[in-house]
Chain A
Amino acid sequence: MAIIERPSVTTTPAVIAPATPSSSLGTLRRPVTTGGWKAWLFTVDHKKLGIMYMATALFFFIVGGLEAVLIRLQLAAPNGKVLNADLYNQMFTMHATTMVFLFVMPMAAGLANYFIPLQIGARDVAFPRINAFSFWALLFGGIFINLSWFLGGAADGGWFMYAPNSGPVFSPSHGIDFWALGLQITGISSLAGAVNLITTVLNMRAPGMKLMRMPVFTWLQLVVQFLLLFAVPVITVALFLLSFQRNFGATFFDVAAGADPLLWQHLFWIFGHPEVYILILPSFGIISEVLPVFARKPLFGYPFVVFSGAAIGFVGWGVWAHHMFASGLGPVSVAVFSIATMAIAVPTGVKIVNWTLTLWGGKLVYTAAMKFAIGLIVLFTIGGLSGVTHSVAPSDTQQTDTYYIVAHFHYVLFGGAIFGLFSGFYYWWPKVFGKLLNERLGSWNFWFMVIGMNMTFGPMHILGLQGQPRRMYQWTEARAGEGFFNLGFWNLIASIGSLVLTFGILLFLINVVITTRKGQVAPLDPWNARSLEWMTSNPPKEHNFDSIPTVHHLDEFFHRKYQEDANGVMQQVKTAEEVLKELEDNADAHIHMPSPSYWPIVLALGMPVLAFGVIYSIPVAIFGAVVILFGAYGWAIEPSTAPDDDIDPPTESGTSMGVAHVS
């Protein structure tokens, strides 16, 4: 989208006119409200949508966290009575599903939505309406999956949903139907998001923003979106086959009918392993932004971080069967996948080295964001090392389905992905909300989470090596063992740890409330940051940049503030305020942002209706399809940006929309 700089005669920032409903659209007038709840419901603004993504994700984080606490309470003592076997199955299935699909993925998507356009110097994403659609599809899909709790029980086959447990015989409730169709909807959301964000990164960069000048967060998100683009359709196939089996009598995974249940496993893990990188790479991107800022020196080996990220995205496609070593794949397959899995540790190791060398010799500033980033390096390394032990197939067959695996993936996903996200919360909060999260509380938040997380998941290594199986709803004193390796002791420690962890997360929520009420207003550049998203007000204006900057460096914002003196030492030459003033002085005269629309939410609303109908009654499904068709028509005949004659002349107090072309 055209980002052409144009010296403006006025020195005031661009004033953007509100759109008015066009008579040319007949009965289907576009929404024009710029305030109140309607401004959120029909928005196509990437920042508002980013916030909505993140709020949704945070809500599901709490849901998934409570599910985890219930699991740990059940396992705290022998013969646990908190949950019965059936509810326990639902709990661990939905805990994983929620954390993976409804927390980490949408949280990363929200951050991508908010920060990619800002980091590449764009005013919005390539397809703003598709962006809104992606968000609503995610929200409705997430609600749809969780509806099953109230309609006869949630999915209970584990998040990997292996046959035969996924079949109607072993899971007669509608839980898995909701699960399969709901994930289909969130999958559509991810796919649409991937198309949108890849196009945005490739096409919407500010002048001079070459690929190798992009911030690492944007780079790794680009890799993530490619992984989503190619991985989501694979799970789509698997979920369709499952739905046809459960709802229409097919037997795709039914051994009795001659089917191969390993077909599901292959499809699931062809998606599932790239999914692991989909979860972790955004956090790698976040700490690659945070570490240089708080080490006061540039990222060590930027090209290595970028290329190793791309390498992970590539090699990640060739290792899926390491999840199936215990399934009787045959020696050749096992050997090939075992070696490939060992190889993938290399690019990850490269990153850890780069981060460590970024810290080396830096003037470290231990903010909460920095603490979480360093926490990620340490905890992820532990999880990565236990992961390498799984790549050795003989070792893995011993560990499969034990708590050792649970320990491993919580170190990489909690210690890795979630610590990275928290680092991002503290780092970017002032950018999004204009206020600084409390650092003291942040420090407590960090330490309680670190201690809680190690107390919870550390003992699981021991439990697993002692042979405690995953997904067993009770363990008995008779099998508990003695002394240091007593299952009872370590289970209790893990359960106490989960409460410490919960308290740590509660501190974050308290911090959010306190900051919102009476937080310190953030200065323009609170961290002395390096990348473009900081070269705008906090929070950014609706059109992000008054004038689109021309980029000359990696870390453009830093280079505008600092220049080398005669001795080769970086010296501050401008304050952030002065840099911003320059942009304001050259404000674009006429900024035309994409206009809000009803259609994304209408289109997204049709999908859960259709899915509901597939489970309960075909006429309802047909009604859902009609809603989708109606939404699609409305969408198709509505220009994404209101035409010029549809825009009111600039007003004094005009807030509204506007990107795109400078005509």
Chain B
Amino acid sequence: MSTETTTHTEEHGMSNAGYVRIALILAAITALEVSTYYVDFGRLFMPALMIMMVVKFIMVVSYFMHLKFDNKLFSWIFYAGLILAIGVYCVALATFHFFS
């Protein structure tokens, strides 16, 4: 809601065609993810999978959930919870030598 706009669609930053485009990208990434199950990515396997997961996650949050276009406070609250969760649980798993 940063700029003066006339239509609600623009107000939320996306047109329906835009949403469909995002969904197509998400579908393509998902196909790529599934392909890792059949094709050997070698050493790239884990990083590629992680990156694709994060990209999908952020795309849904930013576009479908409008966080990219909405007030920053919402982003702060949500990402605070997310980063806190990643932080404490990764440290806890690390004490179990999960990552080594």
Contact = CB atoms under 8 A, between A and B. Distances in A.
The answer to whether any beta carbons of A and B sit under 8 Å apart in the complex is: yes
Interface of A: 202, 229-230, 234, 260, 262-263, 266-267, 270, 317-318, 320-321, 329-330, 333
Contacts of A230: 80-81, 84
A234 B89 CA distance: 10
B95 A317 contact: no
Contacts, number: 25
A432 B88 CA distance: 40
Contacts of B91: 318
Nearest to B94: A333
Contacts of B92: 266-267, 270
B87 interface: yes
A330 B87 contact: no
B99 interface: no
Interface in B61-100: 73, 80-81, 84, 87-88, 91-92, 94-96
A262 B96 contact: yes
A330 B95 contact: yes
A267 B95 CA distance: 13
B84 to A, nearest CB: 6
Contacts of A320: 88
Contacts of B88: 234, 270, 317, 320
Contacts of B96: 260, 262-263
A329 B96 CA distance: 8
SS class, residues of chain B in contact with chain A: helix
Closest A-B pairs by Cβ, 5 of them: A266-B92, A333-B95, A270-B88, A329-B95, A230-B84
Nearest to A333: B95
A297 B88 CA distance: 41
A330 to B, nearest CB: 7
A267 B88 CA distance: 10
Interface of B: 73, 80-81, 84, 87-88, 91-92, 94-96
Contacts of B95: 262, 266, 321, 329-330, 333
Give the interface SS of chain A, mostly helix, strand, loop or mixed: helix
Contacts of A234: 88
Contacts of A317: 84, 87-88
A278 to B, nearest CB: 15
A266 B91 CA distance: 10
25 contacts: A202-B73, A229-B81, A230-B80, A230-B81, A230-B84, A234-B88, A260-B96, A262-B95, A262-B96, A263-B96, A266-B92, A266-B95, A267-B92, A270-B88, A270-B92, A317-B84, A317-B87, A317-B88, A318-B91, A320-B88, A321-B95, A329-B95, A330-B95, A333-B94, A333-B95
B88 to A, nearest CB: 5
A230 to B, nearest CB: 6
A154 B80 CA distance: 37
Contacts of A260: 96
A353 to B, nearest CB: 29
A422 B91 CA distance: 38
A229 B96 CA distance: 26
Nearest to B73: A202
Most buried by A among B81, B91, B96: B91
Nearest to A266: B92
Contacts of A333: 94-95
Given A234-B88, A317-B87, 9 more contacts: A229-B81, A230-B81, A262-B95, A262-B96, A263-B96, A266-B92, A270-B92, A317-B88, A329-B95
A114 to B, nearest CB: 25
A38 B81 CA distance: 39
A321 B94 CA distance: 12
Contacts of A262: 95-96
A202 B80 CA distance: 16
A266 B95 CA distance: 10
A262 B81 CA distance: 23
A637 B27 CA distance: 37
A572 B24 CA distance: 69
A234 B87 CA distance: 13
A320 B87 CA distance: 13
Nearest to A226: B80
Contacts of B73: 202
Contacts of B87: 317
B51 to A, nearest CB: 27
Nearest to B93: A266
A260 B96 CA distance: 9
Nearest to A336: B91
Contacts of A229: 81
A329 B93 CA distance: 11
A333 B98 CA distance: 14
A260 B94 CA distance: 14
A94 B81 CA distance: 31
A317 B81 CA distance: 12
Nearest to B81: A230
A535 B73 CA distance: 31
Nearest to A267: B92
Q: Which of A262, A267, A270, A321 has the most CB of B within 10 A?
A: A270
A320 B92 CA distance: 10
A311 to B, nearest CB: 15
A318 B95 CA distance: 13
A44 B15 CA distance: 41
A202 B73 CA distance: 10
B31 to A, nearest CB: 33
Contacts of A267: 92
B95 to A, nearest CB: 5
A226 to B, nearest CB: 8
B73 to A, nearest CB: 8
Contacts of A330: 95
B87 to A, nearest CB: 7
Contacts of A263: 96
A266 B88 CA distance: 9
A262 B94 CA distance: 12
Contacts of B94: 333
Nearest to A260: B96
Contacts of B81: 229-230
A440 B80 CA distance: 48
Nearest to A320: B88
A234 B80 CA distance: 15
A232 to B, nearest CB: 12
A321 B88 CA distance: 11
